Amino acid sequence: MKIAVGMSGGVDSTACALLMSRVGHEVIGITLRFHKICDGERVCCSPQDVKDASRVANLLGISHLVIDWEELFRQRVVDRFLGFSSRGKTLNPCAVCNRDVKTGFLARYLRDVAMIDRLATGHYARIVDFKSFRVIARAKDRAKDQSYFLALLRAEDIELLEFPLGDMTKDEIRELLRSEGIDIWDKRDSQDVCFFMGKSLSEYLEENIGAIEGELVFENRVLARHSSIFSLTIGQRKGLGVAFGEALYVKEIDPCAKRVLLSKKEELYKSEIELESLSLHLPISQWGKVFAQVRYRGELSEVEDIIQTNGGTLVRFKKPVWAPAPGQVCAFYEGDVLLGGGIIAR
């Protein structure tokens, strides 16, 4: 088969390229350049990462192409993230990027323009057969599992994808590269959102959409003011600067009114949420006992019902879930199998 490998210059994508080459496929390395200038030392897809990817591809003896998608990335991920933030919502940019730029969209693009059979990436996830469907499942290394960030992919995208690292741990992957003499085997993982360029969320938002100072309100009482309410998120407790006798959490953010409503913890449990942009990896009629995950590292909650409405998709839970935040992803699972997901609208 003709396999494209997404190469970011990091440990995981390098191991992915190595494994695909070993199998005997015709392999071509593809690196997406999102940032021409990068000040952060640990930012994914930095200019240095592009150089590392090119050097490793040469070492592996595979061809390598760099695609400049800085503008596409800005339009489909960065601008959308900023738009959500300006409305007091916390969009998950990595899940959107996987759908609209570097995984799902890239696979379809390469199929159409380069006639590739599959796109292999270094995601910690697995491709499995489930009820006669080709679907995504959690990785062997649960601490590194990235299936949650793949929930928005289209079902047709999964037909074009391979995740060769899904049955390996991070330690095994580093040892594989070390044993092959590939010198980036101990390269540090990138952290945080790549386009923050090493800045904190509040620093990035203040630089790009400004800072709105707002009141922090609890039971109609103004307890404090916050210098940048855009940087807050539903369920946040730390960093509020509120002196109160018990823990208070962000319940609602209203940038127009310049107010943030606070509440006690029990008020943030919700029995239902509404989703937009729902993606189904297999039809709901094929779903069995379903659990939902409404934030990365969040607990699984059993789903009672899923109802299609004119405005989106209503999800009801058997027990209330903690602090679902508009903009975050709700991913559905049956056992280890990812069934799909959507973006929380309310």
Q: Could you please report the per-residue DSSP string of 124-155?
A: SEEEEEETTEEEEEE-SSTTT--GGGGTTS-H
User: Confidence class of residue 308 from pLDDT cuts 50, 70 and 90?
Assistant: confident
The two three-digit tokens of residue 90, written as one number: 């916390």
Question: What is the average pLDDT across 74-101?
Answer: 94
Asked whether 18 and 173 are in contact (CB, 8 A), the reply is no
Select which of 38, 194, 256, 330 is catalytic: 194
Q: Which of 33-47, 165-179, 308-322 has the lowest mean pLDDT?
A: 33-47
pLDDT for 2 beyond 70: yes
pLDDT in tens, 121-172: 999 999 999 999 999 999 999 999 999 999 999 999 999 999 999 999 999 9
pLDDT for 99 beyond 70: yes
Can you give the pLDDT at residue 45? 59
| 321: β partners | 270
Select which of 38, 97, 256, 330 is catalytic: 97
Closest CA to 118 of 7, 18, 28: 28
The architecture CATH gives domain 211-263? Roll (2.30)
pLDDT for 77 beyond 90: yes
Three-state DSSP at 126 gives: strand
Question: What is the average pLDDT across 283-292?
Answer: 95
* 194 is annotated as an active-site residue: yes
pTM to 2 decimal places = 0.92
Answer with the residue of higher pLDDT: 341 or 242.
341
Residue spans of the domains in the chain: they are: 2-122+164-196, 211-263, 269-344
Question: What is the average pLDDT across 331-338?
Answer: 98
Question: What is the average pLDDT across 42-64?
Answer: 81
pLDDT in tens, 225-275: 998 888 899 999 988 988 888 899 999 999 889 999 999 999 999 999 999
* 44 is annotated as an active-site residue: no
Q: Which of 95-104, 118-127, 198-207 has the lowest mean pLDDT?
A: 198-207
Asked whether 105 and 111 are in contact (CB, 8 A), the reply is no
Q: CATH: 2.40.50.140, 2.40.30.10, 1.10.3720.10, 3.30.70.370. Which one for 269-344? A: 2.40.30.10
pLDDT for 315 beyond 80: yes
- C-alpha span between 219 and 199 (Å, rounded): 34
The two three-digit tokens of residue 54, written as one number: 């090119």
Question: What is the average pLDDT across 4-31?
Answer: 92
Kindly list the distances between the CA atom of residue 243 and the CA atoms of 23, 215, 225, 248, in Å, as whole numbers in the listed order.
60, 14, 11, 9
Helix (H) or strand (E) holding 216: strand 214-218
- C-alpha span between 321 and 317 (Å, rounded): 7
Q: Would you say how long the chain is, in residues?
A: 346
pLDDT for 38 beyond 90: no
The two three-digit tokens of residue 116, written as one number: 């590739």
| 207: β partners | none
Asked whether 98 and 152 are in contact (CB, 8 A), the reply is yes
Q: Given the DSSP bridges, would you call strands 118-120 and 161-162 parallel, antiparallel or unpaired?
A: parallel
pLDDT for 190 beyond 80: no
The rounded mean pLDDT for the chain is 91
- C-alpha span between 290 and 302 (Å, rounded): 6
CATH, domain range 2-122+164-196? 3.40.50.620
Can you give the pLDDT at residue 39? 52
The two three-digit tokens of residue 190, written as one number: 């990138």
Q: Which of 108-112, 229-233, 314-318 has the lowest mean pLDDT?
A: 229-233
Q: Given the DSSP bridges, would you call strands 259-263 and 214-218 parallel, antiparallel or unpaired?
A: parallel
pLDDT for 323 beyond 70: yes
Angle at 292 between CA 291 and CA 296, to 5 degrees: 130
The two three-digit tokens of residue 303, written as one number: 């789903």
- For 137, phi then psi, to 5°, come to -135, 165
Q: Given the DSSP bridges, would you call strands 2-6 and 118-120 parallel, antiparallel or unpaired?
A: parallel
Q: How many CB atoms lie within 10 A of CB 274?
A: 18
Helix (H) or strand (E) holding 238: none
Can you give the pLDDT at residue 175? 95
Q: What 8-state DSSP symbol labels residue 3?
A: E
Answer with the residue of higher pLDDT: 135 or 23.
135
Q: What 8-state DSSP symbol labels residue 76?
A: I
